[in-house]
Amino acid sequence: MAKTIHYGITFPITIDSEEKNLLDLNLTRHEKIKSEIMHLIFTPKGQRLRNQNFGTNLIQYIFNPSDTQTWDSIVTEIKECIRTWLTDVQIKDVELGEVDEGRGLAVRITYSVTEEDGSSGTYEIISRL
């Protein structure tokens, strides 16, 4: 039986795996990178002990008007944060869109990662902010 390689804990944290682990684990490098991006953008700056600069300041935009200036600031925040903390990820695009009749935002992050075998893959995350 081949040994399964795990790449850290999935984010968001779940316990639905067939392996019946206490927490679900990423089975591929791509899943690991996706979990790292999600963890990074949903962690408010100042929340992580001993690393107060980790995360984003997205929470500061919660009461800002839903206009181009705010959206541009959110996109810039996400791009800069990923460039700073996940140096093996190349951001292709970050897009925002309104959901729930203008009461929420969804983000689409398109990025590429060089795989362990040297090939490059392009992936996408779609999530609500």
**29-128 belongs to which CATH class?**
alpha beta
Cα gap 80→64, rounded to integer Å: 20
**Residue 44: predicted pLDDT:** 92
| 21 DSSP β-pair partners | none
Please give, one letter per residue, the 3-state secondary structure of the chain: CCCCCCCCECCCCCCCCCCCCCCCECCCHHHHHHHHHHHHHCCECCCCCCCCCCCECHHHHCCCCCCHHHHHHHHHHHHHHHHHHCCCEEEEEEEEEEECCCCEEEEEEEEEEECCCCCEEEEEEEEEC
Predicted pLDDT at 79: 94
The pTM is what? Answer: 0.75
Angle, CA 96 vertex, CA 91 and CA 97 arms, to 5°: 150
pLDDT tens per residue, the chain (129 residues)?
456 665 666 665 555 656 555 567 767 777 888 888 988 998 999 888 888 899 999 888 888 888 889 889 999 999 999 999 998 899 999 998 888 877 778 899 999 987 777 778 888 988 887
* Residue 55: predicted pLDDT: 92
Q: What is the pLDDT of residue 66?
A: 81
